[in-house]
Amino acid sequence: MKILVIGSGGREHALVWKLAQSPSVTQVYAIPGNPGMARLARCLPGTDYLAAAREVAADLTVVGPEAPLVSGVVDAFRAEGRQIIGPTAQAARLEGSKIFAKNFLWQRNIPTAAFVSADNPAEARAALDRFRLPVVLKEDGLAAGKGVRIAHERADAESALATLRYPLVIEEFLEGEEVSFIVFCDGRNVVPFEPTQDHKAVFDGDTGPNTGGMGAYCDSRILSDSLTRQILNTIIYPTVEATSFTGFLYAGLMLTGDGPKVLEFNVRMGDPETQPLMHRLDADFAAVLTGSGGLAWHAEPSVCVVMASGGYPGAFEAGKPIRGIEEAEAGGATVFHAGTRMGPQGLETAGGRVLGVTASGPDLAAAIGRSYAAVRKIAFAGAHYRTDIGRKGLKRYNKVGSGT
């Protein structure tokens, strides 16, 4: 079987890495790919995904990023009878429009935060009076994980209204712990993945502006069996039934005192959640995608630490030479490329999020230690990363273990 993966980031590298291990896969292609993927797959130029699938006679195409899904790539492939993993453009509106998603949730009594939509600054300022601080403001369209502001003061909210794109959503601030809950769907049946926890803020302690994700960890203990059933019954099953969803449905959840509530829907695998998920997956992923095999997981937790360019998530410079990846991987880590390119100096930085350094261990503490040991072996000018990926999990488990 020949598989084409659409995308060029760390998520797509992790998908290629896992698919290349499948006994049934004879060739993996990536469009446009990156230098990390080029070690495992044949990378194709351009952005004409349908033409690329025709050219290489791909038996299956897997879409990584959200933009092609929202633009209708699945509809185009299916119109030609080509197999592709992802939702239709109509179902992809769950991610493509925050307003659509919030109305969808509200109309079906799926638990989420109270909200108001606003088409202009005047409406937004009036809507602020309906919420207690802190308040959350979200751009309606795709924003690569960076179109959200949490305002703790009225002045902060007013400032955000002057910079965010309209229309936007204003919603109540939910307190609790965030969890990424991803499932694979065929239109009716649902296969849950292991739970993961993303770290969106750029700095330790969840401070600073939001990013596309500065790291994630995957551990079975993030959710209890009863909580998993509650999420499936109250959120996932109603959504899949209403949309006949196909592909990867990602519910970003807040575990509140009133139960899990939806912060957002994504219609693809998460980035950086895919990296630790693929590291833990103990199954033929191609067989899972074609419905000929089931999911199984290594018991060991896994952790991905994102190394970013200086200045990210703001302006940053590209073209910085990268050193130390081979040494990091010699110690047992897997380094997934996100924003890299081959240049005059060899491997160089080419994006805000550059690498996703991923490792597993017999317990979460060991996985964290191995990931950061690998991170310290890699260097490029301006590199920065959070030093607390997975620490919330350790604190939670220690609290449970102490009986408090």
- Please state whether the predicted TM-score (pTM) of the whole model is above 0.75: yes
List the CATH code of the domain at 2-87. 3.40.50.20
Consecutive H or E run containing 169: strand 168-172
Residue 128 backbone class (left: φ over 0; alpha: ψ -120 to 50; beta: rest): alpha
Cα–Cα distance, 305 to 340 (Å, whole number): 16
Which pLDDT does position 148 carry in this prediction? Answer: 87
Q: Smallest Cα–Cα separation from 185: which of 100, 264, 246, 270?
A: 246
CATH 3.40.50.20 region(s) of the chain? 2-87
CATH 3.30.470.20 region(s) of the chain? 177-401
261 Cα distance to chain centroid: 18
Cα–Cα distance, 290 to 160 (Å, whole number): 44
CATH 3.30.1490.20 region(s) of the chain? 114-172
Q: Please, what is the average pLDDT of the chain?
A: 95
Query: Angle at the Cα of 194 (from 193 to 197), degrees rounded to 5?
Result: 115
Q: Token digits for 73?
A: 């790539």
Helix (H, G, I), strand (E, B) or coil at 97: coil
Consecutive H or E run containing 95: helix 89-96
Q: Token digits for 345?
A: 């100096």
Cα–Cα distance, 198 to 254 (Å, whole number): 12
- Reading the chain (404 residues) residue by residue, the pLDDT tens digits are 999 999 999 999 999 999 999 999 999 999 999 999 999 999 999 999 999 999 999 999 999 999 999 999 999 999 999 999 999 999 999 999 999 999 999 999 999 999 999 999 999 999 998 999 999 999 999 877 668 899 999 999 999 998 899 999 999 999 999 999 999 999 999 999 999 999 999 999 999 998 999 999 999 999 999 999 999 999 999 999 999 999 999 999 999 999 999 999 999 999 999 999 999 999 999 999 999 999 999 999 999 999 999 999 999 999 999 999 999 999 999 999 999 999 998 999 999 999 999 999 999 999 999 999 999 999 999 999 999 999 999 998 886 553 32
Cα–Cα distance, 164 to 183 (Å, whole number): 31
List the CATH code of the domain at 114-172. 3.30.1490.20
Q: Smallest Cα–Cα separation from 273: which of 15, 95, 19?
A: 15
Which pLDDT does position 402 carry in this prediction? Answer: 39
Q: Which fold has domain 177-401?
A: D-amino Acid Aminotransferase; Chain A, domain 1 (3.30.470)
pLDDT tens-digit series, residues 239-261: 999 999 999 999 999 999 999 99
